[in-house]
Amino acid sequence: MSTQTEVLDKPVVKSEPSEAAFSKRRKKLITDPLNDDNPITVQVLGICSALAVTTQLSPTLIMAVSVVFVIVFANLIISLLRNLIPNRVRIIVQLAVIATLVTLVDQVLKAYFFDAWKELTVFVGLIITNCIVMGRLEAFALGNKPYDSILDGLGSGLGYAWIILAVAFFRELFGSASVFGVKVFELAGIENFPTNGLMVSPVGAFIILGLIIWVQRTKTGYVER
């Protein structure tokens, strides 16, 4: 049972209560979405925000943390309610839970990270429509226990996070010649590093995302059928 190798988009077999907190199967819940089943590069979900927020690293980091938070808690809540949710209204229940969490994130950002909030509020609102979140609820949380759902959410969230952070790293490096706002090229003694305007626009994100997918698929041998 713990050797399940299928894609995790189906309800998983019920686990024994004695299963280790980080059994092989549960580790896979986290590690699969990081690479082999990455929500952005393999499932091609959540592209919109990956293109929009990744001009600089620090807002991207906040966006990544917000998405991880929303996925994990939405997964947990839906999983806890999975035996109570009437089938006919499950999508709207999922939406209501996601929207509530996203609004909470937005309010907290406004109160404690105002500058980032100003920049991100539009995109934070759009987490509601981020297909990754709803996809995990529908595909996993509705059919699995809370703990597994948390792990699954964490995996998908981190899979999303590292990709957008990687894209943001290159975009900020070549577009603004800095990393987390630190002018690295000036520190390295290279004055007047020619910044690339393309990297500042969403087109740059497309190109970098394409390159990441290329490298990743070369390594994993994944082919779309």
Partner 1 sequence: MRQSNVYVIAFSAILTVILGGLLAFSAIGLKPMQDKQVALDTQKKILGAVMELKETDDIPAIYSQRIESLVVNAKGEQVDEVDGAPVVAEDIDVGKQFKTPAEERLFPVFKYQTEGSNQIDAYILPVYGNGLWDNIWGYVALENDLKTVKGIVFDHAGETPGLGARITSVDVQERFRGKKIYDEIGELVAVRMVKGETGDPSIYGSHEVDGLSGATITANGVNDMLANYLGYYKPYLEKVSGQAMSGIDNKHQPSDV
21 or 111: CB nearest partner 1: 111
Stretch that binds partner 1, among 68-76, 81-89, 127-135, 150-158 (CB under 8 A): 81-89
C-alpha distances (whole Å) from 214 to each of 42, 132, 140, 203 are 11, 21, 28, 17
> Residues 9, 14, 114, 180: which binds partner 1 (CB under 8 A)?
114
Which residues are registered as beta bridge partners of 182? 179
**Is 180 a binder of partner 1 (CB under 8 A)?**
no
- Minimum distance of partner 1 from residue 51's CB (angstroms): 12
Q: At which residue do the structure tokens 């959410």 appear?
A: 153
82 or 136: CB nearest partner 1: 82
**Is 212 a binder of partner 1 (CB under 8 A)?**
no
Task: Tell me if 64 sits within 8 A of 43, measured CB to CB.
Answer: no
> Residues 51, 64, 70, 97: which binds partner 1 (CB under 8 A)?
97
**Is 218 a binder of partner 1 (CB under 8 A)?**
no
Nearest to 158 by CA among 76, 69, 68, 70: 68
Which residue type sits at 213? I
Stretch that binds partner 1, among 13-21, 24-32, 105-113, 134-142 (CB under 8 A): 105-113
Stretch that binds partner 1, among 104-112, 127-135, 145-153, 186-194 (CB under 8 A): 104-112
**Chain-centroid distance, C-alpha 222:** 20
Task: Tell me if 9 sits within 8 A of 177, measured CB to CB.
Answer: no
Question: Longest C-alpha distance within the chain, in Å?
Answer: 63
**Is 100 a binder of partner 1 (CB under 8 A)?**
yes
**Is 112 a binder of partner 1 (CB under 8 A)?**
yes
- Helix axis angle for 90-112 and 114-125, nearest 10°, is 160
Task: Tell me if 8 sits within 8 A of 29, measured CB to CB.
Answer: yes
- Minimum distance of partner 1 from residue 175's CB (angstroms): 8
Task: Please give the Cα distance from 219 to 214 (Å, whole number).
Answer: 9
**Is 107 a binder of partner 1 (CB under 8 A)?**
yes
34 or 200: CB nearest partner 1: 200
Q: Residue 60 phi/psi, 5° resolution?
A: -65, -40
Q: Which residues bind partner 1 (CB under 8 A)?
A: 55, 84-89, 92-93, 96-97, 100, 103-104, 107-108, 110-112, 114-115, 118, 197, 200-201
